[in-house]
């Protein structure tokens, strides 16, 4: 019997990473499958993760002078057609409202897949002078892109995101904005989600539909694949031309604005799961953990109430110290069940209090990952020490993920080494920049150019695939991607 | 020329309240009309009002043990049909997605008009034991109800709201929840929005489609009409039956849960506008004002920079004192223009600083409403005094709105007095409770029963319309409504 897997255990990552992922998202009660194809229900534990991401990102957005607004869900089909590349990119994914109020509509309405077009229409209306620029807008919204192969959080028919949309007097100002937004994402990923993403520029073949330049942050998941976790686009004057976003410059000349857009979505939750999780379930970075500490009171009979009271008092102290804490006092399940449950849910620190602990004036602490095993801490020192322990845990996750990423990234110059590298991680290579060559590489290995890293040193050489001269003045990062 | 109205002035309320409302929402830059019928763009100043409402309400919701979650936008048509009254109530307003991903869908998807049905489906899945109850969920979301006669904020095809959905072991617990949610709304309206709403129960003819009991808060707008500003519904076991939401009771018996739902929307912004606004524009309660104080530096030439620096320093002090403050340093418009602009936008307190103020160590303060006129305050006392001044302003708005409501509410017992009362406000009357009698009253006067106020004294008498005995054991509030 011992060899038969526990029904409740998750599939090991090493056996089937994709099955592991599905096991974890459902058993940790992050999501459920929605009734319409490819949709998801974000359950309270998953939604709390999103709220914590939102709070951090919203602060960054507001602190830099952006205003939140809200634009309509329904976009007339004709709007999308105004920017040729944009409509071509999104057409296959659109959901379309054809009937409303009991009648067939004269013009079908697209459920927004992104809002460049409708926001472009209003930018044109609101901007008249250079004094109206920069116009710095953001919205938190749901968007819909029909998915044939949905994966919870990663690719769902409906997802939640923020989309920043800004207009500027010239390319220099718009590019500053594009990079500022990319910095939001890089910093949030690293400092809050403990994901050492690589910020870089997409190659032309991987650009957003309608953008002149697309920047991305790429995270490495524990199966060696890349997950694009946020993007920032410089649109040039493409949307300004399509929607007539013009302003009177200081010299009175009517001038096209330069626009940007940038977004981060509920996909970020998938990045957290696949960067840190293990065969016991989720591992959450403290800064995003709905509960940073769970307290499990252990005691039966006479001791039960005394232990429960001590657990509640400790939770109060921890909350005062700014720690998000939960007392698991469910009477119907055993301590062992609770331990597994909170491990599955990725809570960074578990505290147990039993009658003997209470007599000795201590609690027993276990960290979700690490070699320390169980550790006793004086009850009256817990609230003082926990914030530091959580910071240390946060750093540990980032260090571990960085080590994983670096040990799975190879700098290679020949094709066999490339094939080996992208079978389990990323490859830094020279590339000719031709889309057909990217396609050949993808056909052979399923790897794609993830980005040209911003911080890569200036170098050049022969394309790893076709030996033509390299196009970017630096190495490109290739990997298989979600 | 003096008799010709300034192009920029709003239509006086007394002349055409509805035109006044439209003038204000667009000129104060709260909204714009969306491209699809009846939709709106919520502009940054309007959205900030919504964010402040959200922050307050979300805190109340979380403090009482509710969890936020997110359910899909698209609901299979078949779900709505499971509760007969519900589908009948919503069918005429539905927007329907028939095509997606380039194909016609096998089953059309409804864009959620409200989420009882889809949430009911998951409640059924997640609840098995009495230990799973109460299940206390909330979501912040957009919903769509096709509107033939849209009004910005009041009735729009798409709007933003929160919808609470909860499941309970029995009627008593579900009714406690229904009233708790109503209290959120009553308290938020009164204490934050300064609207002295009347909480009460809807008569059977005005219930939510599928509810056993519907409760409401009704606010009186400055044209004497009522605006329903939040509702809370006890569903009985209607949705539990339709979606099979059952639990094993302590004795093991499979039992139907009792559910509730409750919502407050962007309509609340309309309530704020129409409760407090005047012929100069918006008047915002300080607790919801995006800017509570605006500082206008006045000075040209040499004095300009000195005055601007003083304004910035003062703004810093006010921000530290917890005041939301804006310095209007636009060089291209005059102080007079700024005064009008911020009056239109309803900022509670304006501070002017000119060179002479600076020499005397004072600022000149004007309140958005009141008889005080301009007042001088010592520069170094402003940050200390402003929080109190804003509280007093908040109280003043509530007192004024309460006085208005009370002076436009009459207790009447005969038909002619009823007709007079509802022509300019509300009437407290006995009513027989028959829907046909409600319909007769509506046909003659356009007035409808707004609610049976919770705090009305026990009384009975003859129906004001048909002289049948009164049905509710207390008086009913009638009025014309939005």
Partners of A319 in the beta sheet?
none
| Closest CA relative to residue A300, chosen from A337, A325, A334, A328 | A334
Check CB contact under 8 Å for B74 and A122: no
Instruction: Identify from B53, B74, B119, B122 which residue to disrupt to test chain A contact, counting A C-beta atoms within 10 A and taking the largest count.
Output: B74
Residues of A in Cβ contact (< 8 Å) with B99? 95-96, 98, 108
Q: Report the residue of chain B nearest A118, measured CA to CA.
A: B35
* pLDDT interval class at B221 (50, 70, 90): very high
Q: Is B152 on the interface with A (CB under 8 A)?
A: no
Check CB contact under 8 Å for A51 and B67: no
Angle at A141 between CA B120 and CA B124, to 5 degrees: 10
Check CB contact under 8 Å for A97 and B97: yes
Check CB contact under 8 Å for B35 and A142: no
Q: Report the residue of chain B nearest A71, measured CA to CA.
A: B41
Q: Report the residue of chain B nearest A42, measured CA to CA.
A: B70
Q: What is the ipTM of this complex?
A: 0.96
Please name the residues between 249 and 288 in chain A that touch chain B, using a CB distance below 8 Å.
none
A-to-B residue pairs, Cβ atoms closer than 8 angstroms: 163
Distance from CA of B58 to the nearest CA of A (A): 12
Q: Is A122 on the interface with B (CB under 8 A)?
A: yes
Residues of A in Cβ contact (< 8 Å) with B70? 41-42, 47, 50, 160
pLDDT tens profile A305-316: 999 999 999 999
Q: A335-359 burial string, b = 16+ CB within 10 Å, else e?
A: eeebbbbbbbbbbbbbbbbbbebbe
Check CB contact under 8 Å for B121 and A35: yes
3-state secondary structure B320-373: HCCCCEEECCCCCCCHHHHHHHHHHCCCCEEEEECHHHHHHCEEEEEECCCCCC
Instruction: Supply the pLDDT for residue A83.
Output: 85
The values of phi and psi at residue B33, to 5°, are -80, 135
| Closest CA relative to residue B239, chosen from B262, B220, B253, B259 | B259
Q: Is A94 on the interface with B (CB under 8 A)?
A: yes
Is the four-CA dihedral B192, B195, B196, B198 of positive or negative sign? negative
Distance from CA of A462 to the nearest CA of B (A): 40
Check CB contact under 8 Å for A109 and B36: yes
* pLDDT interval class at B319 (50, 70, 90): very high
What domains can you pick out in chain A, each with its CATH number? 17-276 (3.30.930.10), 293-385 (3.40.50.800), 410-480 (3.30.110.30)
Residues of A in Cβ contact (< 8 Å) with B156? none
Check CB contact under 8 Å for A72 and B144: no
Residues 6+ away with beta carbon under 8 Å from B371: none
Q: Report the residue of chain A nearest B144, measured CA to CA.
A: A73
Residue B80 has pLDDT above 80, yes or no: yes
pLDDT tens profile A194-229: 999 999 999 999 999 899 999 999 999 999 999 999
Instruction: Supply the pLDDT for residue A8.
Output: 65
Residues of A in Cβ contact (< 8 Å) with B68? 44, 47-48, 51
Distance from CA of A49 to the nearest CA of B (A): 11
CA distances from A6 to A1, A247, A432 (A): 9, 66, 50
Name the residue among A48, A70, A330 with its Cβ closest to that of B42.
A70
* pLDDT interval class at B86 (50, 70, 90): confident
Distance from CA of B95 to the nearest CA of A (A): 4
Name the residue among A70, A71, A92 with its Cβ closest to that of B102.
A92
Instruction: Supply the pLDDT for residue A4.
Output: 40
CB A142 within 8 A of CB A171: no
Which two structure tokens, joined as six digits, stand for B41?
């763009």
Cα separation, B214 vs B57, whole angstroms: 20
Residue numbers in chain A where pLDDT is lower than 70: 1-8
Q: Is A151 on the interface with B (CB under 8 A)?
A: no
Residues 6+ away with beta carbon under 8 Å from B214: B201, B202, B206, B207, B208, B231, B232, B233, B234
* pLDDT interval class at B8 (50, 70, 90): low
Q: Is A90 on the interface with B (CB under 8 A)?
A: no
* pLDDT interval class at B7 (50, 70, 90): low
Q: Is A91 on the interface with B (CB under 8 A)?
A: yes
Return the percentage of chain B with pLDDT > 70, whole number. 98
Q: Is B122 on the interface with A (CB under 8 A)?
A: yes
Is the four-CA dihedral B23, B29, B34, B35 of positive or negative sign? positive
Angle of helix A17-27 versus helix A267-276 axis, rounded to 10:
110
Q: Report the residue of chain A nearest B34, measured CA to CA.
A: A72
Q: B8-32 burial string, b = 16+ CB within 10 Å, else e?
A: eebbebeeebeebbbbbbebbebbb
Q: What is the dihedral of CA A408, A412, A416, A422, to 10 degrees?
A: 30
Name the residue among B41, B73, B102 with its Cβ closest to that of A71.
B41
Partners of B214 in the beta sheet?
B233
What Rg, from alpha-carbon coordinates, does chain A have?
Answer: 25
Neighbours of B440 (CB within 10 A): 13
Check CB contact under 8 Å for A98 and B96: yes
| Closest CA relative to residue A20, chosen from A221, A178, A175, A207 | A221
Residues 6+ away with beta carbon under 8 Å from B208: B89, B202, B214, B231, B233, B261
Check CB contact under 8 Å for B47 and A70: yes
Which of A83 and B260 is assigned the larger pLDDT? Answer: B260
The values of phi and psi at residue A210, to 5°, are 110, -5
Residue B5 has pLDDT above 50, yes or no: no
Check CB contact under 8 Å for B39 and A72: yes
Stretch B128-153: mean pLDDT: 97
Residues 6+ away with beta carbon under 8 Å from B293: B318, B323, B324, B325, B326, B347, B348, B349, B350, B351, B386, B390
Q: Is A305 on the interface with B (CB under 8 A)?
A: no
Residues of B in Cβ contact (< 8 Å) with A90? none
3-state secondary structure chain B: CCCCCCCCCCCCCCCCHHHHHHHHHHHCCCEEECCCCCCEEECHHHHHHHHHHHHHHHHHHHHCCCEECECCCEEEHHHHHCCHHHHHHHHHHCEEEEEECCEEEEEEEEECCCCHHHHHHHHHHHCCEHHHCCEEEEEEEEEECCCCCCECCCECCEEEEEEEEEEECCHHHHHHHHHHHHHHHHHHHHHHCCCCCEEEECCHHHCCCCCCEEEEEEEECCCCCEEEEEEEEEEECHHHHHHCCEEECCCCCEEECEEEEEEEECHHHHHHHHHHCECCECCCCHHHCCCCEEEEECCCCHHHHHHHHHHHHHHHHHHHCCCCEEECCCCCCCHHHHHHHHHHCCCCEEEEECHHHHHHCEEEEEECCCCCCCEEEEHHHHHHHHHHHHHHHHHHHHHHHHHHHHHCEEECCCHHHHHHHHHHCEEEECCCCCHHHHHHHHHHHCEEEEEEECCCCCCCCECCCCCCECCCCCCEEEEEEC
Partners of B263 in the beta sheet?
B163, B231
* pLDDT interval class at B1 (50, 70, 90): very low
Cα B15 to chain centroid, rounded: 25
Q: Is B71 on the interface with A (CB under 8 A)?
A: yes
């Amino acid at each position: 019997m011992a060899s038969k897997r526990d029904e409740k255990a998750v599939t090991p990552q090493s056996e089937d990473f994709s099955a592991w992922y599905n096991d974890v998202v459902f058993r940790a009660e992050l999501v459920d499958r929605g009734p319409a194809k490819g949709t998801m229900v974000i359950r309270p534990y998953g939604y709390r993760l999103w709220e914590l991401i939102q709070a951090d990102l919203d602060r960054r957005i507001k602190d830099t002078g952006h205003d939140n607004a809200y634009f309509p869900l329904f976009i007339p089909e004709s709007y999308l057609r105004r920017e040729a590349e944009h409509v071509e990119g999104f057409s296959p994914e659109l959901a379309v409202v054809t009937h409303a109020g009991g009648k067939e509509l004269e013009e079908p309405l697209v459920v927004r897949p992104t809002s460049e077009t409708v926001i472009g229409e209003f930018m044109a209306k609101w901007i008249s002078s250079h004094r109206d620029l920069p116009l710095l807008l953001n919205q938190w919204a749901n968007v819909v892109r029909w998915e044939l192969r949905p994966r919870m959080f990663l690719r769902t028919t409906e997802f939640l995101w923020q989309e920043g949309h800004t207009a500027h007097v010239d390319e220099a100002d718009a590019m500053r904005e594009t990079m500022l937004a990319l910095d939001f994402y890089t910093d949030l990923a690293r400092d809050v989600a403990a994901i050492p993403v690589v910020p870089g520029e997409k190659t032309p073949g991987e650009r957003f539909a309608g953008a002149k330049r697309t920047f991305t942050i790429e995270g490495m998941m524990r199966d060696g694949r890349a997950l694009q976790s946020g993007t920032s686009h410089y649109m040039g004057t493409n949307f300004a031309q399509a929607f007539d976003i013009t302003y009177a410059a200081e010299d009175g000349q009517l001038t096209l604005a330069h626009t940007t857009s940038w977004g981060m979505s509920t996909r970020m939750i998938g990045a957290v799961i696949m960067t840190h999780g293990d065969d016991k379930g989720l591992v959450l970075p403290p800064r995003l953990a709905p509960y940073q500490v769970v307290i499990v009171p252990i005691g039966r009979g006479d001791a039960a109430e005394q232990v429960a009271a001590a657990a509640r008092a400790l939770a109060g102290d921890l909350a005062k110290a700014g720690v998000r804490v939960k007392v698991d006092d469910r009477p119907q399940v055993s301590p062992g069940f609770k331990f597994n449950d909170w491990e599955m849910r990725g809570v960074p620190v578990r505290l147990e209090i039993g009658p003997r602990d209470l007599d000795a004036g201590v609690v027993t602490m276990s960290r979700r990952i690490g070699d320390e095993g169980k550790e006793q801490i004086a009850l009256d020192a817990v609230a003082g020490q926990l914030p530091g322990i959580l910071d240390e845990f946060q750093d540990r996750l980032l260090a571990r993920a960085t080590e994983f990423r670096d040990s799975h990234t190879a700098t290679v110059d020949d094709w066999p080494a490339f094939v080996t590298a992208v079978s389990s991680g990323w490859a830094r290579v020279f590339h000719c920049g031709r889309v057909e060559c990217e396609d050949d590489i993808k056909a052979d290995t399923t790897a794609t150019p993830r980005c040209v890293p911003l911080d890569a040193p200036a170098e050049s050489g022969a394309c790893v695939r076709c030996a033509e001269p390299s196009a970017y003045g630096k190495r490109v990062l290739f990997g298989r991607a979600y």
